[in-house]
Amino acid sequence: MSGSINTASKRLDGAKLSTNAAIVAAIGLLLSALGLTMDPQRFSYAWLWAYLFFWSAALGGLFFVALQHLTGSIWSVVIRRVAESFAAQMWVVALFAVPILAFAWFGDSFHLFPWLDVHHVEGDEVLAGKQPYLNVVFLSLRIVVFMGVWVLASHFFVTRSLAQDAKGAGRNEGTKKMRSWAPAFMLFFGLSVTFTGFDLMMSLDPHWFSTIFGVYTFAGVFVTGLAVIILGVVFLRSRGVLDADVVRPDHLHSLGGLLFAFSCFWAYIAFSQYMLIWYGHLPEETSWYTDRFVGGWGTVSGALAIVRWVIPFFLLLSRKAKTSPRRLALVSVIAIFGQLLDLYWVIMPQLHTNGPVLSWPELGPLLAMGGILVWLLTRFFARHPAMAVGDPLLTQSVEYRL
Amino acid sequence: MNKPIVEAGTVGLVDDLSGTIPSKPKLGDKLLEGKQEKVGVVGLFDDPHALVKAAEKVRDAGWKQWDCHTPFPVHGLDAAMGLGWSKLPTIALSLGFTGAALALLMQYWMSAVSYPVHIGGKPLFSWPAFVPITFEMFVLFTAAGTVLTGLWMCKLGRWHSPLHDSGVMAEVSSSRFALVLSAKDELWSDGARSLLDEAGCTDVRDLFEDVDDGRIL
Give the model confidence (pLDDT) of B112-171 as tens digits.
999 998 888 889 999 999 999 999 999 999 999 999 999 998 878 777 778 887 888 888
Quote the pLDDT of residue B141: 97
Quote the pLDDT of residue B212: 66
Query: Is residue A314 less than 8 Å (CB to CB) from chain B?
Result: no
Task: Examine the pLDDT at A6 and tell me if it is beyond 60.
Answer: no
How many domains is chain A partitioned into structurally? 1
Residue A402 to chain B, least CA–CA distance (Å): 7
Contact A275 B76 (CB under 8 A): no
Residue A195 to chain B, least CA–CA distance (Å): 28
Residues in chain B: 217
Whether A54 contacts A96, CB under 8 Å: yes
Identify the CA nearest to A202 among candidates A124, A134, A118, A122: A134
Q: What is the mean pLDDT of residues B40-45?
A: 92
Q: What is the mean pLDDT of residues B2-7?
A: 43
Least confident of A8-17, A23-32, A128-137: A8-17
pLDDT in tens, A348-393: 999 998 889 999 999 999 999 999 999 999 999 999 999 988 888 8
pLDDT in tens, A205-226: 999 999 999 999 999 999 999 9
Quote the pLDDT of residue B24: 55
Q: What is the mean pLDDT of residues A20-27?
A: 95
DSSP class of residue A57 equals H
Whether A28 contacts A20, CB under 8 Å: no
Question: Using CB atoms within 10 A of its CB, is residue A116 exposed (0-12), middle (13-18) or buried (19+)?
Answer: buried
Residue A83 to chain B, least CA–CA distance (Å): 27
Q: Which residues of chain B are within 8 Å of residue A401 when distances are taken between CB atoms?
A: 75-76
Quote the pLDDT of residue B25: 52
For residues A101 and A343, give the distance between their C-alpha atoms in angstroms, rounded to a whole number: 19
SS3 B37: strand
Question: Using CB atoms within 10 A of its CB, is residue A381 exposed (0-12), middle (13-18) or buried (19+)?
Answer: buried
Spell out the domain ranges in chain B.
88-153
Q: What is the mean pLDDT of chain B?
A: 82
How many Cβ atoms from other residues are within 10 Å of residue B113's Cβ? 10
Interface test with A, best of B75, B97, B126 (most A CBs within 10 A): B75
DSSP letter for each residue of A201-224: TGGGSTT---TTHHHHHHHHHHHH
Task: Examine the pLDDT at A73 and tell me if it is beyond 80.
Answer: yes
Quote the pLDDT of residue A235: 95
Task: Please report the beta strands in chain B, taking only residues with DSSP state E, as ranges in sequence order.
Answer: 36-45, 66-69, 177-182, 203-210
Task: Examine the pLDDT at A169 and tell me if it is beyond 70.
Answer: no
Q: Which residues of chain A are within 8 Å of residue B131 when distances are taken between CB atoms?
A: 271, 275
Q: What is the mean pLDDT of residues A140-147?
A: 97
Q: Which residues of A274-305 are buried (b: 16+ CB within 10 A; e: fewer)?
A: beebbeeeeeebeebeeebeeeebeebeeebb
Interface test with B, best of A318, A323, A396, A400 (most B CBs within 10 A): A318
Percent of chain A with pLDDT over 70: 97
Quote the pLDDT of residue A193: 97
For B119, name the nearest residue in chain A, comparing CA atoms only.
A279
For residues A371 and A373, give the distance between their C-alpha atoms in angstroms, rounded to a whole number: 6
Query: Is residue B84 less than 8 Å (CB to CB) from chain A?
Result: no
Phi, psi of B187 (to 5 degrees): -85, 0
Least confident of A27-36, A103-112, A146-155: A103-112
pLDDT confidence tier of residue B216, bands split at 50, 70 and 90: low
Count the helices and strands in chain A (H runs, E runs): 19, 0
What ipTM did this prediction achieve?
A: 0.80
Quote the pLDDT of residue A264: 96
pLDDT in tens, B64-89: 889 999 999 888 888 899 888 888 99
Cα separations (Å) of B179 from B6, B16, B25, B38, B190?
34, 19, 24, 16, 17
Higher-confidence position of B61 and A253: A253
Quote the pLDDT of residue A300: 95
Contact B89 A319 (CB under 8 A): yes
Task: Please report the beta strands in A292-336, taking only residues with DSSP state E, as ranges in sequence order.
Answer: none
Question: Using CB atoms within 10 A of its CB, is residue A34 exposed (0-12), middle (13-18) or buried (19+)?
Answer: middle
For residues A167 and A173, give the distance between their C-alpha atoms in angstroms, rounded to a whole number: 11
- Closest by Cβ to A271, choosing from B75, B93, B131: B131
Q: Which residues of chain B are within 8 Å of residue A271 when distances are taken between CB atoms?
A: 128, 131
State the residue range of the domain holding A21: 2-398
Identify the CA nearest to B195 among candidates B100, B64, B82, B55: B55
Task: Examine the pLDDT at A33 and tell me if it is beyond 60.
Answer: yes
Quote the pLDDT of residue A170: 60
Which residues touch B129 (CB under 8 Å, ≥6 apart)?
A: A275, A279, B122
Task: Examine the pLDDT at B3 and tell me if it is beyond 70.
Answer: no
pLDDT in tens, A329-346: 999 999 999 999 999 999
For residues B80 and B61, give the distance between their C-alpha atoms in angstroms, rounded to a whole number: 12
Which residues touch B121 (CB under 8 Å, ≥6 apart)?
A: none
For residues B54 and B70, give the distance between their C-alpha atoms in angstroms, rounded to a whole number: 13
SS3 of chain B: helix, strand, coil, percent, to 5? 45, 15, 45
Residue numbers of A between 343 and 382 with CB closer than 8 Å to B: none
Q: What is the mean pLDDT of chain A?
A: 92
Contact A317 B93 (CB under 8 A): yes
